[in-house]
Amino acid sequence: MGWYEENSSVSETGLGAVEYAEDKYQAPTGKQDYFNHERKSLQLQHIFQVNERAKLSTQFYYAKSDRASFRQINEPGSLNGRSEMDRCSGVVATEANSANCGGRWRPRDFEYWGIEPRLDISHKLFGIDSDAVIGFRYHREDINRNQFRGGDPRFQDLRYAQSFNGVNGSTGHREQIDINVEAKSYYAQNTFYVGNWSLTPGVRVEDIRISTDVKRAEGQPQNNAESDVTNNQSKVLPGFGVAWNGIANTTVFGGVHKGFAPPRPDRDIVASAANTAVVSKTKAEESTNWELGLRSAFFKGFKYEATLFHTQFDEIVVSNGFGRFVNGGKSEHSGLELAGRLDFGTIYNSSHNFYVAGSYTNVFTAKFKKTSAAENIESGDRLAYTPKHIASLNFGYEHPVGFNARIGVDYISEQYEDVNFREGRDDFDPLSGMTGKIPSYTLLNASVSYKPVGSKATFFVSGNNLADKEYLASRVDGMVAGRQRQVFGGVRYDF
């Protein structure tokens, strides 16, 4: 069982280009912006060992999440690089101005539950040692999205804003959307063990239904047929994996699998007045995923792995930057992942273990393969937020008395907030802060921990961005600076 509550003064929006240049860490409406969240959860698991070869397990989960956020900026940088108060037209967002203006509350309720029975069984079908997995999952969601807006500073109080429930117009109840999701998943796979080989064919069937009822949009009631839509999608997804263990402490593996990811149930609507709302029937992502890799600890004190991957998407789901998720057509992604760790203590049989650990990912291809004029996508454009290089390198020391220290760097190469940076595109606005490049950055991190021998307590101190580097982390909703130097410590206790 779990219970979580949060009441934060945090801005959902970033900064315009002029604001960011003045002070990367400012939040003009930060004293009025809020994020309140309460979440209750329950998870149950049942395991029945039928016999030494069969096990039946069942998982049940339930969660209810109620959240409400308040914001006063909707389009950062809209006033020549400065942000405008959303409900006070033409007023620049400042700490003083934000106290005298209203804004938008977004209360949303999510309730979901699911159950998944699964049978694991070992057998000798066709005289071959095998492990089979057969399972089913049922998942249900109920989502209620509301929004209230008004320029009166009393709208900073959620209860006051909700008193306008059912009121039409630019001040009042802007949005009400009810979404119901029902998803069923059936899967089965069997691993055959033949000598040093293991072969795993499998299949998954996904069946999902998303019902979206837009009762209110843009401050007006919606009763037209296009505002209450059900989106049904079903797919059979085969897959095949293979692994070879013919070398000691080494596995060579590969596979090809079909993938399926439905669009998230969200505010994917278009509306301008009463009875004009149209629910977008975004298609699910379908993909074919290939991988070929190696994992090995063949050499004493040295563990490493390498994986090549290639994924082809049909109807990839992307954000259009205006609060909707749309299909971006065909795309492909290819890359290489490397990781390794060298332990000198193991190599030299010493209790003093100095180690070097690192990882590197090169996403050398992440591009659209089809031009879409409607979504301003051109064939060959690189996908948003897909840096080509991601790397991490750490140096550490361990000792049996329970001492562990590590220092290292993390690197992320440049990326774009949208498809390839083109100043001539229709939506390019260098002052908004929402369009353009995100430069590369490198961060210095370290940690130290100590767990006395025989103790159940571990004491630790960890530091992120120790050089206090200023860097741009996101442009999703305006420019947002990455976190500054952060050092924290604590105690973990294992009962």
Q: What does the pLDDT look like over 411-461, one tens digit per residue? A: 999 998 875 455 555 556 788 888 888 999 999 999 999 999 889 999 999
Contact 146, 167 (CB under 8 A): no
Confidence band of 491 (pLDDT split at 50, 70, 90): very high
DSSP classification of residue 344? H
Strands (E) in 281-352, as ranges, are 285-296, 302-314, 317-319, 325-327, 331-343
CA-nearest of 106, 98, 108, 216 to 158 is 106
Q: For residue 159, give the H/E element and its range.
A: helix 158-162
**Minimum mean pLDDT among 103-112, 192-201, 473-482: which range?**
473-482
99: in domain = no
184: in domain = yes
The DSSP bridge pattern shows strands 353-368 and 34-51 to be unpaired
| Contacts for 373 with CB less than 8 Å, ≥ 6 apart | none
Confidence band of 263 (pLDDT split at 50, 70, 90): confident
Structural tokens at position 70: 């308040």
CA-nearest of 305, 301, 329 to 315 is 329
462: in domain = yes
Quick one: average pLDDT of 229-254?
A: 96
- Confidence check: pLDDT of 32 > 90: yes
Quick one: average pLDDT of 73-78?
A: 91
- Confidence check: pLDDT of 266 > 90: no
- Confidence check: pLDDT of 126 > 90: no
76: in domain = no
- Rounded CA-CA distance 388/371 in Å is 22
441: in domain = yes
Confidence band of 12 (pLDDT split at 50, 70, 90): confident
**CATH classification at residue 283:** 2.40.170.20
What letter represents residue 204's amino acid?
R
- Rounded CA-CA distance 354/342 in Å is 8
25: in domain = no
Looking at residue 322, what is its pLDDT? Answer: 60
Q: Helices (DSSP H) in 209-274: which residue ranges?
A: none
Q: Helices (DSSP H) in 73-149: which residue ranges?
A: 95-99
Q: For residue 175, give the H/E element and its range.
A: strand 172-194
Looking at residue 419, what is its pLDDT? Answer: 58
- Rounded CA-CA distance 106/168 in Å is 16
- Hey, is 345 helix, strand or coil? helix
- Residue 217 structural domain: 119-144+172-493
- Rounded CA-CA distance 390/441 in Å is 10
- Computed over every residue of the chain, the mean pLDDT equals 93
- Confidence check: pLDDT of 262 > 90: no
Looking at residue 486, what is its pLDDT? Answer: 97
- Angle subtended at Cα 310 by Cα 309 and Cα 314, rounded to the nearest 5 degrees: 145
**CA distances from residue 201 to 129, 191, 243, 250, 450 in whole angstroms, order as listed:** 14, 7, 12, 22, 45
Looking at residue 424, what is its pLDDT? Answer: 53
Q: What does the pLDDT look like over 282-331, one tens digit per residue? A: 888 899 999 999 999 999 999 999 999 999 999 888 876 666 777 888 99
Contact 127, 60 (CB under 8 A): no
Quick one: average pLDDT of 100-120?
A: 97
Confidence band of 151 (pLDDT split at 50, 70, 90): very high
% residues pLDDT > 90 (the chain): 81
| Contacts for 89 with CB less than 8 Å, ≥ 6 apart | none
Q: How many domains does the chain have?
A: 1
Looking at residue 477, what is its pLDDT? Answer: 87
- Rounded CA-CA distance 156/98 in Å is 10
Q: What is the CA radius of gyration of the chain?
A: 26
Q: What does the pLDDT look like over 363-414, one tens digit per residue? A: 999 998 888 776 778 888 888 889 999 999 999 999 989 999 999 999 999 9
383: in domain = yes
110: in domain = no
Higher pLDDT, 317 or 252: 252
- Angle subtended at Cα 179 by Cα 178 and Cα 180, rounded to the nearest 5 degrees: 130
Q: From the CB of residue 479, how many other CB atoms can be counted at a distance below 10 Å?
A: 26
